[in-house]
Chains A and B, each alone.
Chain A
Amino acid sequence: MSLDAPLRSCRDTPVLKERGQREVFCGLTGIVWLHRKMQDAFFLVVGSRTCAHLLQAAAGVMIFAEPRFGTAILEEKDLAGLADANAELDREVARLLSRRPDIRQLFLVGSCPSEVIKLDLARAAERLNAAHAPHVRVLNFSGSGIETTFTEGEDACLEAMVPALPGTTTPGLMVVGALPDVVEDQMLALLSAIGVPNVTCLPARRSQDLPAVGPETRVALVQPFLGATHAALVKRGAKAIPAPFPFGAEGTTLWLHAVAAAFGIPLDRVEAVIAAPRARAERALSTVSETLRGKRIFFFPDSQLEIPLARFLARECGMVPVEVGTPYLHRELMAPELDLLPEGPTLSEGQDVERQLDRVRAARPDLTVCGLGLANPLEAEGLATKWAIELVFTPVHFYEQAADLAGLFARPLRRRALLGEAAE
């Protein structure tokens, strides 16, 4: 496949901006994967019973160990007086930390109710930091639905960590975005073989491994929804590496090319390292993509992964995107992706779910990528669906996962074909 830009891309495609009911998760949901990534961190949501219920519903019962997240549920008396709410919060945190001595990082996570009553969690974090340092570092961010949409919760969390990162003047690469450990290890092996110096990750698996940042730090994102974290790192002097995101063989190759170029590493060295895994990924993709070729796909807005995934599916799997919805379109970070995405689909930003449902029913795509609330109702209308949330939870980045990523889209279609008669 070609790494060249298409004849006509989506760069100048006008964007349909929608405002109405949004069928999306709030940023609190990010806690579900962030707490698995940061193994000595506890996420304490200061919110309502709804927040606790959301986390339980989103996390499912898969991780029903005593989890490293919880909700301090606001009660009527907390609403009556904020001074009392602060005292209560201090008490709950002290109790929590004494019960869980393994916790080294505590995130106070703001919610819709805590934002509306203007509970100052930044000050609370400062106060609690003073009380519990040096054993525990206390940070805060907001995962509220009024400020964050789904994956923006991870952005807010990582952004909150940036000011606490140590400084450095050593040249190096910081990779930003939570990846499953197995994928992160593959990536680190590739970068090391290519000869990229001093590679660190944000978030780190353990709190003592915080990456350092400075004027010689180059930053590469592996997730497209990290605009605020990106800006905060640039503000601390780091330099951005614009690149498509490492989804699929092509995305991975272009991402690695961009990283190597930023460190002046010759292209032939990169090519030598990636030749084998890249060929492997392309071979695996050619099998899986048979199911996908020529099929029309429609993305509801969910995680901001939609545009990179549409690019991957269009260019490497032969799918035809009909509409690519995204909760928020970050023009600067998405520019390399839009340059690659072939012209054709409607690009929509934001959501009016009823109108979008009208469009999907009119378009009748072969596959619809949507949230769990919409999936069964659309299946019942005869539309094959792919749960968007799985794209965030499953290892999908870099070469070895390229075919797995395509497989996530192929499986509903294969399943539909298998059940063809029974489902009639």
Chain B
Amino acid sequence: MRRGALRCHCATGGLSWLALALLAPTLLAGCARTPPPAVHFFAEGRPQHLSDWHVVLREGDRLVLNGGVVPFDLNTPLFSDYAHKLRTVWMPAGTAAQYSDAQTFDFPVGTVLSKTFYYPRAAAHAEAPDDVARTYDQSRDFAGTGLDLNNVRLIETRLLVRREHGWEALPYVWNAQQTDAELARTGDEVPLELIAADGAAESFTYVVPNENQCAGCHVTDLKTRAIAPIGPKARHLNRDYRYPEGAQNQLAYLEKLGYLKGLPPLAQVPRSAAWRDASQPLEARARAYLEVNCGHCHSPAGPANTTALTFDVGTPLDRHLGLCKPPVAAGRGSGDRLFDIVPGHPDDSILPFRMASSETGVMMPEQGRGTVHREGLELIRAWISAMSGSCSS
């Protein structure tokens, strides 16, 4: 399979796709063989515009992926204020990531990971661009392999780029016209209205992290202080994706493209639970959720290792995971509760209390959300409710 197979390329002559986007859409109607500029990996510096990278391209009313840019999903994603996410990976020709059972894959220099945060537009609020839908339904998001910009509002695209000396994080914020995203090193704030299916509205400020806040999650080892991707691990990627050619396992697909080497037979590859899949065990779903939403800080090497609370994948289900554990530095985040988890009693447990808050200084995670993740909270409460045992001894 060729890496450029995902999209049909439009005739662009000498113009960049950016210039094209400003021209009449009729020009875009016919597809021809001439490819647009390939993905441009910048070995250093901070390009001002997302378009400089040629990773995701504005094409008519769609945001499409350039040749060689491969989309992927995670079994259980991080909650980000109900934003939908389009994740992609691109690697230079002839290079591949090295598979690992447990760790983030070892990506080659030149790798560009992108994550575009967007919302489905609220159906009845088409004229109000800040009204976005609170839904898990992605069926209206795509037009072919591209995002349908008639139906979605782009917020930001974050790049993680693997340079010679390590990974760097670059946050780009989409403009109001949705024509391009501009570098926002110091982050941004976007006021939005989340509209539920029943019409209920919730105002919140979507916070685009600044570069140092990116590191707040992506520096998973305090000693190295190195930024690293979190999602692209075998257990998170081990699932199907609906490619234009049909649904396939993502790892097998990446291997077939030449993007992944060292992949063992799929039966031997670990797999995280999908947190919303009620057919999977409650315990596995809760643990997957906690790992992805909390484990990047709450790990033995992570910045929350000051708290004696760990949520990474191997943590035993005992005090290390918060069972009957008194808080260390929670302050008012304890919510007048004595222990992180009191088996059988979510209302007495600090963990769901902090998840149920959207107040800075109380809520956990500390950053990356301004709303409460209702369904995630419900999952963790159900998991705690189902626990037996007690903290009185």
Do A and B pair up? The answer is no
Chain B residues in contact with chain A, CB under 8 A? none
